[in-house]
Amino acid sequence: MNPNINTATATPASFEVDPTLPGVSFFGTVRSELAKLRALRTSWWLSAITVGLGAFIAGAVAFSFRYFMSNDPDITMDALELAVQGQAGGYFAMILIGSLGVVAVTTEYSTGAIRSSLTAVPQRPLLLSAKALALALWTAAVAVALILVSHLLTSLIAEPLGLADIADPEIAGLYLSTFASILLTALLGFALGVLLRSSAGGIVVLAVIMFVFQIVLNILYGVTQGAAWVEILVRVEFMHLVDNLTNPFAGEYGSVPAWEPWQAGIGLVIWVAVPLVVGAISFSRRDS
């Protein structure tokens, strides 16, 4: 017998992947996710509307303030108060960019693209965190643009806010808190998108969190004549915390006691972290 008979039927040498070639990387995945956001028309629309609306509101606020001032010189507002008014566009930014957070995830599910993404990056925690970081970077850029444009318009149109006041610690702090609340809301939207995998569902729940809770709780607060348990709910409600974080005058007009900004900030982080962690766990486990 020919001892080499087996070589004739043996399978060819197995193909080896060159181990020096780069593997999947977090940085590469973030770049990939940023490219997805850039390629999504919704991102551009929502971001453009956010900045445009913010600019419009800041301009309108500043002009009307100037108009009232010229009619009635007794009206006064200091620079910080005016800056707060000028950032009113931040509220719209939250719902718009929050919706972008939802859509950034859910389009992958509605189109099925998630299956391509997961075969390229099957390490799900890595994929999800890269997605979150890409969204955060995009949101940060939009929020900075919104805040700067609003500041620019408000300070150019109305006294006493000046262009250079952006370096004032109180005003800079105000802008930072607006920035943080937009970023946190984007991540809340993202978490809802991961959990619900439906654009409509995610946006509706986000709107409920942002608008409905507040209205319902305020009615309840009135009906129960300020019951203690309702007061607790009112104080931990999402938009109440946002207001306490971003509005230095929140304590002066609120019906319930205001938190310190740092306390409100922690509250908001919890609001975002809980759905994010639950979403991440479910994302890592479920079938796609």
Partner 1 sequence: MITAENLHKRYGSKTAVDGISFQLPPGKVTGFLGPNGSGKSTTMRMAVGLDRPSSGTITIDGKPFAQHRAPLRTVGAVLDAGATHPGRTGRAHLRVLAATHGISHRRVEQVIELTGLGEAARKRIKGYSLGMNQRLGIAAALLGDPAVLIFDEPVNGLDPEGVRWVRGLAREMAAEGRTVFVSSHLMSEMSQTADHLIVLGRGRIIADAPIHELLETGEHRVLVRTEQVAELANALESSAVSIEHIDAETLQVTGLDPRSIGRRALEIQAVIHELTPQLGTLEDQYMKLTGEHVEYRSGSIPEEVAQ
Binding site for partner 1 (CB under 8 A): 11-17, 21-25, 28-29, 31-32, 35-36, 39-41, 107-108, 111-124, 285, 287-288
Residue 103 CB, nearest approach to partner 1 (Å): 12
Residue 288 CB, nearest approach to partner 1 (Å): 5
For 134, list phi and psi in degrees, rounded to 5. Answer: -60, -45
Residue 226 CB, nearest approach to partner 1 (Å): 48
For partner 1, which is the closer residue by CB, 31 or 66?
A: 31
Q: What is the DSSP letter of 208?
A: I
- The vertex-82 CA angle with 246 and 256, nearest 5°, equals 40
Residue 283 CB, nearest approach to partner 1 (Å): 12
For partner 1, which is the closer residue by CB, 60 or 118?
A: 118
For partner 1, which is the closer residue by CB, 39 or 164?
A: 39
For partner 1, which is the closer residue by CB, 122 or 251?
A: 122
d(CA 77, CA 155): 13
Give whole-number Cα distances, 168 to 53, 102, 151, 244, in Å: 25, 35, 12, 20
- The vertex-59 CA angle with 58 and 65, nearest 5°, equals 90
d(CA 225, CA 132): 42
